[in-house]
Amino acid sequence: MTRFIIRRLISIPLLLLGIVSIAFLISHNTQGDPLASIVSERQMDNPEVVAAAKARWGLDKSLPEQYVLYLRNLITGDLGTSFRTKQGVGKDILERLPATLELVIAAMILGVGSGIVLGVLAARFRNKPIDHAARLWALTGSSTPVFWSGLILLYIFSVVLGWLPGPGRLDPRSVPPEFMTGFLTIDTLLAGDFAAFGDALHHLILPALVLGWTVMGIVSRLVRGSMLDVLSQDYIVAARARGAGELRVLLNHALRNALVPTLTIIGFTFAYLITGAVLTETIFSWPGIGSYAVEAARNLDYPAIIGVTIVGGTAFLLSNLATDIAYAFADPRIRLS
């Protein structure tokens, strides 16, 4: 076990170095001029700014030296300064992190939860209409462009029906709660402001649904598959023979074991959710990292784009590591292979 974890941990710094190297490569080839990735066009004819940037990132030095400087700057948390916000990219990302996490966690709960329910139903009623409907629903979810379904749902539920609020995290007229966790649903509760809590929750529903729907499909297919494997095993037959109720067999006996291989979906879903969050946040004007990345890309704000890419890659890597370790804990056979 420990050996397995250590082996996986050793690969992490190497992969991180790889991520950073690719980022360096990208920033170095920006528009054919590395300076373009550090200094915005407007500042280009300001010799002071250009000289300062060159000195800080070592652009007048040799390539290996530049690489070392780049690494050193990154390790100290310096991801460069955004052209657009005029702030450090690291600071920008930290400010926006809670919004993205709140959305992704909500979407994960909705997507994984409904995916498991759907997967169990599909396995139990295999090749029956419920199974086919679940498959259709799941495939539709992973086939819908979130930037379109988000617009359509906003139009239906916010404009036509008026049931849910428009884009954003809170009613623009209201005062945001004091910053505690950055999760508005939690902060409003901590402040004891239930009206604001309801408002935050209402704002969260649509984007979380749109985002969650994209992963529900994968989750339900995986759960269905592993449920089918488990349901055909002897101990299930034995449990049924002993007279255990259907619900008890499904949930207590089968699902528990079926969920072990499904642990891998945590890594999968995270990848999907990051991808989806970029576009969902844009549609819902959600002030998270995703919409920050899109704004940066639209304005060719290179330090911000590359910074988000590094942070996203790192987060992705760590979530995969966590999944692997959780999986090894849950299923001893993995460690041996």
Instruction: Quote the least distance from Cβ 155 to other proteins, whole Å.
Output: 5
- Please, are residues 264 and 44 in contact by the beta-carbon 8 Å criterion? no
**Residue 283, interface with other proteins (CB under 8 A)?**
yes
Instruction: Quote the least distance from Cβ 241 to other proteins, whole Å.
Output: 26
Instruction: Quote the least distance from Cβ 68 to other proteins, whole Å.
Output: 19
Spatial separation of the C-alpha atoms in residues 219 and 263, rounded to whole Å:
10
DSSP structural state of residue 163: -
Place of tokens 């054919």: 32
**Residue 130, interface with other proteins (CB under 8 A)?**
no
Sequential DSSP letters for 275-334: HHHHHHHHHTT--SHHHHHHHHHHTT-HHHHHHHHHHHHHHHHHHHHHHHHHHHHH-HHH
Spatial separation of the C-alpha atoms in residues 177 and 194, rounded to whole Å:
11
The one segment of 173-181, 253-261, 295-303, 322-330 that binds other proteins by CB under 8 A? 295-303
**Residue 18, interface with other proteins (CB under 8 A)?**
yes
Strand, helix or coil for residue 199: helix
In the chain, the N- to C-terminal Cα span, in Å, equals 12
- 308 token code pair: 């988000």
**Residue 220, interface with other proteins (CB under 8 A)?**
no
Instruction: Quote the least distance from Cβ 183 to other proteins, whole Å.
Output: 22
Query: Between 185 and 269, whose beta carbon lies closer to other proteins?
Result: 269
Sequential DSSP letters for 45-94: T-HHHHHHHHHHHTTTS-HHHHHHHHHHHHHTT---B-TTT-SBHHHHHH
Out of 4, 8, 26, 266, the residue judged to bind other proteins by CB under 8 A: 26
Instruction: Quote the least distance from Cβ 154 to other proteins, whole Å.
Output: 8
How many residues at the interface with other proteins, by CB under 8 A? 57
Instruction: Quote the least distance from Cβ 263 to other proteins, whole Å.
Output: 19
Which residue type is seen at 329?
F
Backbone angles phi, psi at 21, to 5 degrees: -65, -40
Looking at the DSSP bridge assignments, the partners of residue 81 are 88
Query: Between 18 and 113, whose beta carbon lies closer to other proteins?
Result: 18
**Residue 127, interface with other proteins (CB under 8 A)?**
yes
Strand, helix or coil for residue 193: coil
Instruction: Quote the least distance from Cβ 170 to other proteins, whole Å.
Output: 20
The one segment of 93-101, 126-134, 196-204, 242-250 that binds other proteins by CB under 8 A? 126-134
Instruction: Quote the least distance from Cβ 203 to other proteins, whole Å.
Output: 17
Q: Which residues bind other proteins (CB under 8 A)?
A: 11, 14-15, 18-19, 21-23, 26-27, 29-31, 37, 127, 129, 132, 135-136, 139-140, 142-145, 147-149, 151-152, 154-155, 159, 225, 271, 274-275, 278-279, 282-283, 293-294, 296-298, 300, 302, 305-306, 308-309, 312-313, 316-317, 320
